[in-house]
């Protein structure tokens, strides 16, 4: 099995060549949206106001603070499908432990990860490289671990303490998303538990992901994750101090420089389906660098795997027709996971 990590290590130790190339299978073939859109540099991005939601205001007992935060949330979901979440209550300590644990998982001898390689795309614990090596023409400069963490919790037993930290974090991230969904329900003119009830959030499916992007000898030729939208309702992402996420907004790729101890939040395809397109899922990608290993930790939150969803009845206006076919979440995930990542190609399958 290849891995970007192994390759990065072998190229940095092969000191004989001064110019280290990139194996041709890692040269990324740009797709439509990579070519079409302008990429802002960091300085230009500083002039863009990226939506920021203050979680403490969203759960505040002061109704005016809460309404303001809910309005900002609705605005972020309508115009961006992306926001930074601050004051969320997850301690800097837990965040650092999580990043350390993720690094330790990749410091394990390779055979400790091997047992989770291959297998089925929806295995409860899966390790791999790229996105789906069975269908991709070229490889991505990314290794990953994906674990199903709700309704049943699964995580590797090694390294020691890894599973406990992930469990603690995933429980908190579900609670945070639970509150965000309440705010989103209200922003859509419904009572706060509307989405919880419609999607049966208590039994909802949650996946935990570690994205591991080692330093790349030719970052401009490779790709970490190509443009895509996430499958669920909301994904939370945190990262170490290396940048790489770019969000597509108004036909521009915006490099994201996270605020300290913030979460990066993306709305996913199921948010778009549920709201009949009012809140669009966001297209984003991850580029790579040659400075060091970038680690990102994602948690995706969706409905129960075996439930079927289309646009929610109460979110359809009187004269609106549903724009998406209902689909079982498991089938949607299978569809996304068994193809190469390509913008919103998966959503196109259910668009009416
Ligand atoms: O690593 C990143 O910056 C993006 C990760 C991501 O988009 C994902 O895991 O779906
Ligand atoms: Fe993503």
Pocket-testing residue among 209, 211, 240, ligand 1, by greatest number of atoms within 8 A of Cβ? 211
Per-residue pLDDT, 318 = 83
Ligand 1 atom nearest 230 alpha carbon: 10
Confidence (pLDDT) at 121: 78
Q: What is the pLDDT of residue 52?
A: 98
Q: How far is the CA of 129 from the centre of ligand 1 (A)?
A: 14
**8 Å CB contact between 350 and 324:** yes
| Range 4-348 has CATH code 2.60.40.10 | no
pLDDT at 18 over 60: no
| Whether the Cβ atoms of residue 296 and residue 287 lie closer than 8 Å to each other | no
User: Looking at the CA of 145, which ligand is closest?
Assistant: 1
For the stretch 184-223, pLDDT in tens is 999 999 999 999 999 999 999 999 999 999 999 999 999 9
Task: Give the long-range contacts of residues 16-21, CB within 8 A, separation 24 or more.
Answer: 20/217, 20/218, 21/217, 21/218
Residue 126 CA: distances (Å) to CA of 117, 208, 292 = 6, 11, 24
CA 229 to ligand 2 center in whole angstroms: 6
Domain spans of the chain, in order of start: 4-348
Reply yes or no on whether the pLDDT at 33 is more than 50.
yes
pLDDT tens-digit series, residues 279-306 = 999 999 999 999 999 999 999 999 999 9
Residue 239 has pLDDT above 50, yes or no: yes
Q: Answer whether residue 20 shows pLDDT above 70.
A: no
> Tell me: the pLDDT tens digits for 310-343?
999 999 988 899 999 999 999 999 998 877 777 8
- Distance separating the N- and C-terminal Cα atoms of the chain: 40
Ligand 1 site: residues with CB under 6 angstroms?
209, 211, 225, 230, 237, 244-245, 284, 286, 296, 298
* Number of neighbouring beta carbons within 10 Å of residue 287: 23
Residue 30: pLDDT band (50, 70, 90) is confident
Q: Which residues contact 99 (CB under 8 A, 6 or more apart)?
A: 238, 240, 295, 297
pLDDT, mean of residues 128-149: 89
Smallest CA-to-CA distance from 247 within 71, 134, 127, 84 is with 84
Specify the DSSP class assigned to residue 351.
B
Ligand nearest to the CA of 293: 1
Ligand 1 mutation target, pool 173, 264, 296, 337, most atoms within 8 A of CB: 296
DSSP state of 250: T
Q: What's the burial of 17, exposed, middle or buried (CB within 10 Å: 0-12/13-18/19+)?
A: exposed
Full-model pTM: 0.95
Q: How far is CA 284 from CA 201, 230, 256, 279, 342, in A?
A: 25, 9, 10, 15, 11
Residues 6 or more apart in contact with residue 318 via CB below 8 angstroms: none
- Ligand 1, atom 4, lies closest to the CA of 286
User: Whole-angstrom Cα distance, residue 133 to residue 156?
Assistant: 22
Of 197, 193, 175, nearest in space to 183 by CA: 193
Interatomic CA distance for residues 290 and 40, integer angstroms: 19
Q: Give the Å distance between the CA of 299 and the centre of ligand 2.
A: 10
Residues forming a β-bridge with 284: 228, 247
| pLDDT at residue number 259 | 96
Nearest residue by C-alpha to atom 9 in ligand 1:
298
Q: Choose the residue to mutate in 4, 126, 286 for probing ligand 1, maximizing ligand atoms within 8 Å of C-beta.
A: 286
Asked whether 67 and 54 are in contact (CB, 8 A), the reply is: no
Q: How far is the CA of 247 from the centre of ligand 2 (A)?
A: 10
pLDDT at 337: 81
CB 86 within 8 A of CB 236: no
Which atom of ligand 1 approaches the CA of 245 most closely?
3
Q: What is the mean pLDDT of the chain?
A: 92
Q: Which atom of ligand 1 is nearest to the CA of 244?
A: 3
Q: Which residue's alpha carbon is nearest to atom 8 within ligand 1?
A: 298
pLDDT level of residue 277 (50, 70, 90 thresholds) = very high
> What single string gives the DSSP state of each residue in 5-68?
HHHHHHHHH-TT-SS----GGGS----HHHHHSEE--HHHHHTS---EEEHHHHT-S-HHHHHH
CB of 274 closer than 8 Å to CB of 233:
yes
Ligand nearest to the CA of 282: 2
Q: How confident is the model at residue 276 (pLDDT cuts 50, 70, 90)?
A: very high
Quick one: CA torsion of 131, 77, 59, 207, rounded to 10 degrees?
A: -20
- Nearest atom within ligand 1 for CA of residue 228: 7
How far does residue 314's CA lie from ligand 1's centre (Å)?
A: 31
Which segments of 188-292 does DSSP mark as H helices, in order? 194-199, 269-274
Q: Cα of 242 to ligand 2 centre, how many Å? A: 17
- Residue 119 pLDDT level (bands cut at 50, 70, 90): confident
Beta bridge partners of 22: none
pLDDT at position 1:
64
The candidate with the shortest Cα–Cα distance to 97, out of 5, 176, 160, 166, is 166
């Amino acid at each position: 099995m290849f891995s970007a990590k192994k390759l990065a290590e072998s190229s940095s130790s092969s000191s004989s060549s001064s110019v280290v190339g990139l194996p041709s299978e890692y040269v990324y073939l740009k797709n439509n949206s990579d070519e079409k859109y302008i990429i802002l540099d960091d300085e230009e991005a500083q002039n863009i106001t990226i939506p920021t939601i203050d979680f403490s205001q969203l759960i505040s007992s002061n109704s005016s603070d809460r309404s303001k935060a809910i309005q900002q949330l609705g605005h972020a979901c309508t115009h961006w499908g992306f926001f930074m979440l601050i004051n969320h209550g997850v301690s800097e300590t837990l965040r650092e432990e999580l990043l350390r644990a993720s690094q330790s998982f990749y410091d394990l001898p390779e055979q400790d990860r091997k047992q989770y390689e291959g297998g089925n795309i929806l295995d409860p614990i899966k390790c791999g490289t790229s996105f789906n090596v069975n269908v991709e023409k070229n490889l991505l400069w990314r290794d990953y671990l994906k674990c199903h963490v709700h309704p049943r919790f699964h995580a590797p037993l090694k390294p020691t303490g890894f599973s406990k930290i992930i469990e603690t974090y995933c429980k908190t991230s579900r609670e945070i998303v639970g509150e965000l969904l309440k705010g989103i329900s209200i922003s859509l003119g419904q009572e706060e538990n509307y989405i919880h009830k419609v999607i049966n959030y208590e039994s909802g499916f949650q996946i935990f992901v570690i994205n591991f992007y080692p330093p790349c000898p030719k970052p401009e030729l490779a790709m970490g994750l190509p443009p895509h939208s996430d499958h669920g309702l909301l994904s939370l992402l945190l990262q170490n101090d290396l940048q790489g996420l770019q969000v597509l907004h108004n036909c521009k790729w915006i490099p994201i420089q996270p605020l300290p101890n913030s979460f990066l939040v993306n709305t996913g395809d199921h948010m778009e389906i549920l709201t009949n397109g009012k809140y669009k899922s966001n297209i984003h990608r991850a580029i790579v660098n040659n400075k060091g290993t970038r680690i990102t930790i994602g948690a995706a939150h969706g409905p129960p795997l075996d439930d079927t969803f289309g646009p929610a009845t109460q979110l359809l206006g009187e004269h609106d027709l549903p724009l998406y076919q209902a689909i079982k979440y498991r089938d949607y995930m299978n569809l996304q996971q068994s193809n190469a990542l390509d913008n919103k190609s998966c959503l196109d399958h259910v668009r009416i």
